[in-house]
């Protein structure tokens, strides 16, 4: 069965950056399962999986525009330290959660800390990076109506 929209794909993967550093992997974990066309994985990887079948192995390079987007300097935000929990040891590189006005939870990375302010980066940590995936397709099947209506694999 070939991968196309409304199919459930189970795959193992290793994600590396341009320097070959492993950023994420399914090794020693469960396979990644997702519904094709449901926006569960980055578009550039999903596009390359179309037409593949169980047992296929492939290496895919995904440019930033088809992954987490280009790095956007306008996504840097400076806030007062007083907006953080008192006693919290705020350090560069930490990730914190914030809630937007529409209720969405967003992960922000602390880029700088001074006596009064904290500079936060709202870009995805992988924004602006070219991503390299090694993938092995473990299974392909049609999604059930229930999975499609719920928007996730059961």
The CATH number covering residue 83 comes to 2.40.10.330
- Tell me whether residue 97 is in a domain: yes
Paired strand residues for 10: 33, 139
pLDDT of residue 43: 97
Give the CATH number of the domain where residue 139 resides.
3.10.50.40
Domain of 83 in residue numbering reads as: 73-121
d(Cα 127, Cα 69) in Å, to the nearest integer? 5
- Tell me whether residue 116 is in a domain: yes
Q: What share of the chain is helix, strand, coil (3-state, %, to 5)?
A: 15, 40, 45
Q: Are residues 106 and 92 in the same domain?
A: yes
pLDDT of residue 87: 83
Residue 33 — pLDDT band, cuts 50, 70, 90? Answer: very high
Q: Are residues 81 and 59 in the same domain?
A: no
Q: Rounded mean pLDDT of 2-21?
A: 97
pTM: 0.85
Q: Are residues 117 and 137 in the same domain?
A: no
Supply the mean pLDDT for the chain.
95
Q: Rounded mean pLDDT of 28-41?
A: 95
Q: Are residues 62 and 86 in the same domain?
A: no
- Tell me whether residue 1 is in a domain: no
pLDDT digit string, tens, across residues 91-118:
999 999 988 788 888 899 999 999 899 9
d(Cα 30, Cα 138) in Å, to the nearest integer? 11
pLDDT digit string, tens, across residues 112-141:
999 899 999 999 999 999 999 999 999 999
């Amino acid at each position: 069965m070939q991968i196309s929209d409304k199919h459930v794909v189970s795959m193992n993967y290793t994600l590396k950056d341009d320097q070959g550093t492993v950023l994420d992997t399914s090794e020693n974990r469960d396979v990644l399962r997702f519904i094709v066309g449901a926006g569960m994985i980055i578009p550039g990887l999903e596009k390359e999986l179309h037409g593949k079948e169980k047992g296929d192995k492939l290496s895919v390079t995904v440019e930033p525009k088809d992954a987490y987007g280009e790095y956007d300097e306008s996504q840097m935000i400076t806030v007062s330290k007083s907006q953080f929990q008192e006693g919290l040891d705020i350090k560069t590189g930490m990730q914190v959660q914030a809630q937007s006005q529409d209720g969405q939870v967003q992960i922000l990375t602390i880029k700088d800390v001074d006596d009064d302010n904290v500079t936060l980066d709202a870009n995805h940590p992988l924004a602006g990076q070219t991503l390299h995936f090694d993938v092995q397709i473990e299974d392909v099947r049609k999604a059930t109506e229930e999975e499609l209506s719920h928007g996730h694999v059961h």
